[in-house]
């Protein structure tokens, strides 16, 4: 089983959206039993909270089930447990590398680095634009799935 952890600042907007969208894509592609997907926060701002209503709304509009979720903090142990640690922006990536330390820092990647147009995914907590965030996450999910297929992780 290959394990992927999506991380954003508070684990209520981007990372639970990515967890839900990628879980949906993986299941529809028939790879559900091959990949474990979870999400976490890089900071303590929203621990214990449910996903933001903007994330809930856009997933509902797109017909994608929201993974049951309560915001939790990423831990150093996540670096050992997960095979791939994906941050939404460069601040997340830097925080994640600090959390997991040198031993697992190479597992940390920027999500849209899997797409043809690498860039950060803007935080809709600040922008208010959950549609743009969804489009970026969907693009990144497609690139991530292609990557997993190309290296033989899913088949």
C-alpha dist (Å) from residue 3 to 23, 39, 56, 122:
12, 11, 24, 24
C-alpha dist (Å) from residue 127 to 39, 48, 123:
21, 23, 6
For the question of residue 141 being annotated catalytic, the response is no
For the question of residue 8 being annotated catalytic, the response is yes
Catalytic residue among 13, 123, 136, 141: 123
DSSP tag of 69: -
> What is the predicted pLDDT for the residue at 2?
98
> What is the predicted pLDDT for the residue at 122?
95
Helix (H, G, I), strand (E, B) or coil at 73: strand
> What is the predicted pLDDT for the residue at 17?
98
Residue 136 CB neighbours (<10 A): 23
Under 8 Å between Cβ of 99 and 18: no
Show the domains of the chain with their CATH numbers: 2-150 (3.40.50.2300)
C-alpha dist (Å) from residue 68 to 11, 25, 38, 102, 139:
13, 17, 10, 31, 23
> What is the predicted pLDDT for the residue at 39?
98
Under 8 Å between Cβ of 13 and 125: yes
Strands (DSSP E) contained in the chain are 2-8, 35-41, 84-87, 108-110
Catalytic residue among 8, 13, 78, 136: 8
Catalytic residue among 14, 78, 89, 97: 14
Mean pLDDT by 10-residue block, N- to C-terminus, for the chain (155 residues)? 98 98 97 96 97 98 96 98 98 98 98 97 96 98 98 95
For the question of residue 113 being annotated catalytic, the response is no
């Amino acid at each position: 089983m290959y394990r992927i952890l999506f991380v954003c600042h508070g684990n209520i907007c981007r990372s639970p959206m990515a967890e839900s969208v990628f879980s949906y894509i993986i299941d529809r592609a028939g790879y559900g039993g091959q990949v474990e997907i979870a999400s976490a926060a890089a900071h303590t701002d929203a621990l214990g909270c449910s996903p933001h209503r903007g994330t809930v709304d856009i997933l509902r509009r797109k017909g994608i089930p929201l993974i049951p979720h309560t915001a939790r903090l990423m831990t150093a142990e996540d670096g050992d447990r997960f095979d791939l640690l994906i941050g939404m922006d460069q601040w997340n990536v830097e925080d994640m590398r600090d959390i997991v330390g040198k031993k697992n820092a190479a597992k940390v990647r920027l999500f849209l680095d899997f797409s043809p147009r690498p860039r950060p995914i803007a935080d809709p907590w600040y922008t208010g634009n959950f549609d743009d965030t969804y489009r970026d996450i969907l693009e990144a999910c497609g690139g991530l799935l292609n990557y997993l297929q190309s290296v033989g992780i899913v088949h």
